[in-house]
Structure 1
Amino acid sequence: MTNRNWGIIVIGDEILSGRRQDRHLQKTIELLTPRHEGLQFAHYIGDDEAQIISTLKASMQEDAVVFSFGGIGGTPDDLTRQCAAIAAGMPLVRNSKAVELIEGRFGEDAYPMRIRMADLPEGCELIPNPYNQIPGFRIGQHHFLPGFPVMAHPMMEWILETHYPIETPADYVESAIYLHGTPESSIVETMEEMIARYQDIRFFSLPIHREGNGINLIEFGAKGKTSDVEMAMDDLKSKLAEMDVRWTEER
């Protein structure tokens, strides 16, 4: 398994105003989960040129695979293509392959407005769009997709399969136990100690409140290489026994 950093950027006033509900976050999580990968960040920004540029500049400095959704159309409020070019220090040029695709889709109706969607950062790679053939584009590990889920999500699947295939065999396991009647604050030091000792795996602590019966649980676990997780969980169980904390394998 390759531990990459992953992020999404969702662009559009319509998301921030609530006129449309974001569906990209959940879909990204859904696609990354079978790969034993998870998101490190998710940014939501409006149709503001300065904010888009600053967000993209910052994310381009990180070693992360990023999916950016929205703003690559041809209307005046679609700013992502221009902002991506500025953030990456590339000129915005008319991409001949994108022109071919857009003309093939719309014919003479591609002009004068739709053809603007072929103005892309120089040297970028195109991302195929099976829905209407209007491509997205890729700069390094940043992938720029339409805001419409029906277009963006198949494109994201193609990106993952083409550029980030699942590596097999994946020696990966996720293991958890359930702590009963223990406040989360009481295990903070234990968790910090485990994180410091086992730096190649990730720990998680999730409080669970069962309405109706008043039972509170903490799901406490680790994920990573099988042998490391097994060793860490054995160590954790021993520490909990010393603390007289009751735990079970099931809820």
Structure 2
Amino acid sequence: MATENTHNSSTAQPLTIGLIIIGDEVLSGKRQDRHLHNANKLLRPRGLALSWVKILGDEPNRLEATLRESFASGDCVFCFGGIGATPDDRTRQCAAKALGVSLERHPEAVAEIEAQFGEAAYPQRVKMADYPQGAQVIPNFFNRVPGFSISHHHFMPGFPKMSEPMMKWVLDTYYEEYFCEQKIEKAILIHNGQESEWIEFMEAFEKAYPNLRLFSLPKITDEGKRLIELGAEGKKEQVIAGLDKMIAEVEARGLVWERLY
């Protein structure tokens, strides 16, 4: 079982990144999630992107099973929520069970919690220093109660104000070797278009530009007018070339269009 957090870029394998957002309050709608937005804000300038996102409640069996699966995947996973000291915070315990290890009190985390709360760290707050065996701390720049990393998973509080700078620290500390040119998106809006009329073009486009992510978003206005947002994401030079190809095709078909971004 690997517990270190470094990756080897020499394998030339892309970094697959996922999010696990944990909390009954998110599922119930009592709290609106901001982690997805913040994660994209941090990843995009570094040339990275999310591959998947899961939102889970605090139910331990499902949480443990999900973590067992994600640990086995080898993905880089950022987990938000459920690492507090109250009985409904079960992420630390479920992570340990998923890895088949015990919880142990991490001395560096204890020192941070004691520095923040003094004697008030005991007997409850110090429980937040109990991590799966082999974990490493993630510094918390807001209140000094750390998160932890283990097996390419990075566990942080459910409060975005805390977790966003913690995720930034993890990215810059462990994954800088994967940073690359930021991808861009460009798109046009086609008026009076049907997606079915563009399938052959899109198939040919993907063959011509295999390194671009093509996207097509159909829209219907309140007046019933059909629109297609057609665009591509990737490296700047390729995206510009791909967009020119789209524009040429739209104009060849005599359709009305406008540039979106």
TM over 0.5: yes
- Structure 1 Cα separation of the partners of residues 117 and 108 of structure 2: 14
**1:11 CA drift (Å):** 0.8
**1:138 CA drift (Å):** 0.8
Is 1:145 matched up with 2:156? yes
Is 1:97 matched up with 2:108? yes
| Range with greater deviation from structure 2 (55-64 or 142-151) | 55-64
Return the match for 1:136 from 118, 128, 147.
147
Is 1:229 matched up with 2:239? yes
- 2:259: which partner in 1? 249
8 Å CA contact 1:53, 1:86 repeated in 2: yes
Letter in 1 for 2:229: E
- 2:186: which partner in 1? 175
Is 1:154 matched up with 2:170? no
- 2:60: which partner in 1? 49
| Residue ranges of structure 2 left out of the alignment (5+ in a row) | 1-12
Return the match for 1:218 from 205, 228, 237.
228
Q: TM-score, normalised by structure 2?
A: 0.82
Is 1:70 matched up with 2:76? no
| Range with greater deviation from structure 2 (87-96 or 116-125) | 87-96
User: What are the within-5 Å matches in structure 2 for residues 73-84 of structure 1?
Assistant: 73-84=84-95
Q: Secondary structure at the match of 2:176?
A: coil
**1:244 CA drift (Å):** 5.4
**1:166 CA drift (Å):** 8.2
- Structure 1 Cα separation of the partners of residues 235 and 171 of structure 2: 22
| Residue ranges of structure 1 left out of the alignment (5+ in a row) | none
Letter in 2 for 1:222: A
List per-residue Cα deviations over 1:19-42 (Å, max 9, x = no partner): 222121221122223234332222
List per-residue Cα deviations over 1:126-158 (Å, max 9, x = no partner): 100011111000113211000112211221222
- 1:17: which partner in 2? 28
List per-residue Cα deviations over 1:92-134 (Å, max 9, x = no partner): 1111111122222222222222221111011111100011111
- Structure 2 Cα separation of the partners of residues 111 and 79 of structure 1: 19
Q: Secondary structure at the match of 1:61?
A: helix
**1:169 CA drift (Å):** 6.8
8 Å CA contact 1:82, 1:92 repeated in 2: yes
Is 1:194 matched up with 2:211? no
- Structure 2 Cα separation of the partners of residues 168 and 77 of structure 1: 36
8 Å CA contact 2:46, 2:179 repeated in 1: no
Return the match for 1:117 from 116, 125, 128.
128
Letter in 2 for 1:55: T
Q: TM-score, normalised by structure 1?
A: 0.85
8 Å CA contact 1:35, 1:166 repeated in 2: no
Return the match for 1:59 from 70, 75, 87.
70
- Structure 2 Cα separation of the partners of residues 200 and 52 of structure 1: 35
- Structure 2 Cα separation of the partners of residues 239 and 122 of structure 1: 58
8 Å CA contact 1:3, 1:37 repeated in 2: no
| Range with greater deviation from structure 2 (159-168 or 179-188) | 159-168
The total of aligned residue pairs comes to: 249
Higher RCO (CA-CA < 8 Å; seq separation 6+): 2
Percent identical across equivalent pairs? 45
